[in-house]
Amino acid sequence: MTDQPPPTAWDPAAPGVLRLPSGRLLRGRGLSNPLPPGPRPTFGVYLLGRPPKALDWQTRWVRWPDFRLPSDRADAAAAFREAWSRCAVDRVELACAGGRGRTGTALACIAILDGVPAAEAVAYVREHYSPHAVETPWQRKFVERWSG
């Protein structure tokens, strides 16, 4: 058995890929859509009200009902830190059902970890990921108050 090199990063031009200011890449997506073509994630954080189905890569589930906030904020913060750390060497994706509210909120929190000021994180994710990211006022407030 030979050692395999670390996986390559996401294609920065691929749909759903967010480039953080540090250059790290993450992919956000909606699980209600088909898996995009191209390489598969090596790690995924799934933001759902119930556990996700089994996948062929490492996963972490954050209990997060639709249109709400994470049920366990400490667990969500740990998942965001793990995603940020791992995206330096792995293909990391974050996903909820639609890929907008919960996914956008998580991406904004990870952008804060990467150095984006909290007051600018929602705008950053809306500009670089999806203009519909972070759907509710309480999700926006969550990001603005989140310190990592």
Question: How many CB atoms sit inside 10 A of residue 73's CB?
Answer: 12
pLDDT score at 8: 67
CATH: 3.40.50.450, 3.20.20.100, 3.90.190.10, 3.30.70.120. Which one for 18-145?
3.90.190.10
Nearest Cα to 92, choosing from 9, 33, 34, 14?
9
Residue 36 tokens read as: 């995009």
Query: What are the tens digits of pLDDT across the range 26-73?
Result: 999 999 999 999 999 999 999 999 999 999 999 999 999 998 999 999
Domain locations in the chain as residue ranges: 18-145
Query: What are the tens digits of pLDDT across the range 74-103?
Result: 999 999 999 999 999 999 999 999 999 999
Name the pTM for this structure: 0.93
